[in-house]
Structure 1
C-alpha cells in the first residue's frame, strides 16, 4: 500500500454555524476540502498537482472517513460511519460538513475556527491512480490525482502544500526526473553531440 500523503489547499473560509432547538448548541463546520482541477503551489520545486473530478468517488462509497483535528487521530471531530462527517463531490470539488463533538477538542476547534485562527482544510490519502505530464515551457511536471484513497480530512492552521509532505516517497519513486537530472541529461547529450561533431 502506498504511504499516506497529506495535502492542504487554502479555502476562502471554513463556514461555521451553530444551532440547537433543545437549548444545546450543535456546532457545524463546512466548506471545500479541495476544488477540482485547480493547480497547487509548486511541490519540492518539481511538480504542480491537481485533483480530477471524480477522484474521491470510490472512497466516498467504500471508506469510513474521519475528520481529525490537525491530522491527529486522538482528536476525532467526526466520522462518515455515524454521519457526523458528511462528504460529497459536486461540480466544484469535495465538500464537507462536520458536526463538532461537545468535548474539549470539539469546543477548542469551534473556538479556533470561529476566531479565524484555523482557516484551512487538508486531507490525508494514498494514491490509487495518478498521471504526470511534463510541462516543457515551465520545466516542471503536473501531477493529476485521478483516484484517491481518502482516509481523513482535517481543519488545520498550517499548509502542507508549500513544504509538501509527499509521504516520504522520493521524486524518483514517483517516476519523474528532477530538474537537476534533466539538466545533467541535457548536458550529457550536448557533450555527445559535440564529440560526434569533432570525431
Structure 2
C-alpha cells in the first residue's frame, strides 16, 4: 500500500498567462526547497519539515503526474503524458506549468487565480528517503525529505488546508523509538484527534 502524503504551499507565485488565441497557461511552484513548513507538531513537540534540493530528480524520471483542482481526480487540468502538464525542477523548487483546458472549469480557474481567489498550490507524493533530527535543547524535531518516491498529482486548491501529516507522524514515531527516548506518543494522537475535530487536517 502506498504511503501517500500531501502538502500545500501558498500560491503567491501562481500566475496565469494568456495567449493571443485565447488559451491560458497556469504556472507556479508546487513545492519549494529549503522552506520550513508550518509547525506539524503533535502534543508539545514542534516539528518542521523541509524538502531538500534535488528531491524530485528520481520521481520526475518515472512519473506520469496529473494536474487536478482541489485534490479532485474528477477535475483534471492536465497530464504529463498528454503534454498539457510540464514539470521542471530548478534551484527554487518544483515548477508546474499547466495548459488549462478550454472548458468552463479551465476558464473559471484562470479568472479565479487572476483575482487572487485561489490561495494554495498542492502536490501529492510518496517519500523514498527522509531524515529526522532533534534539537536537544528544546526538543524540536526537523524532517528533511531527501527523495520523493512518486509524484502523483499537483494543482491549485481553493484554500490551504492543514496538510495530511498522518504518514509523517508515523515516521516521527519510528524516529523517536529508534532513539530510545521514552517519549510518550499519546500526546501525538491527542494532537491528531484535536485537529480532526477542528477540521484542520484533510483526513
The TM tier, using the shorter chain, reads: 0.7 to 0.9
1:55 shift after superposition = 0.8
SS across alignment from 1:81 = helix
TM-score (norm 2): 0.79
1:100-127 alpha-carbon deviations (Å, 9 max, x no partner)? 0011211221121111110321100111
Equivalence for 2:76: 76
Equivalence for 2:191: none
Equivalence for 1:105: 105
State how far apart, in whole Å, the 1-side matches of 2:160 and 2:137 are.
27
1:31 shift after superposition = 1.5
Q: May I ask how many residue pairs the two structures share in their alignment?
A: 177
Q: 1:173 to 1:34 in 2, by over 3 A?
A: closer
1:33–1:94 contact (8 Å) kept in structure 2 = yes
1:101-140 matches, within 5 Å, as 101-140=101-140
Unmatched 5+ stretches in structure 2 = 186-203
TM-score (norm 1): 0.80
State how far apart, in whole Å, the 1-side matches of 2:176 and 2:168 are.
10
Higher gyration radius (CA) = 1
Answering whether residue 2 of structure 2 is matched by residue 5 of structure 1, we say no
1:147-162 matches, within 5 Å, as 147-148=147-148, 149-160=150-161
Q: 1:62 to 1:170 in 2, by over 3 A?
A: closer
Moved more, 56-65 or 45-54: 45-54
Moved more, 79-88 or 129-138: 129-138
Unmatched 5+ stretches in structure 1 = 185-199
Answering whether residue 90 of structure 2 is matched by residue 90 of structure 1, we say yes
State how far apart, in whole Å, the 2-side matches of 1:170 and 1:56 are.
18
1:69–1:154 contact (8 Å) kept in structure 2 = yes
State how far apart, in whole Å, the 2-side matches of 1:76 and 1:105 are.
9
1:141-161 alpha-carbon deviations (Å, 9 max, x no partner)? 11111111211111012224x
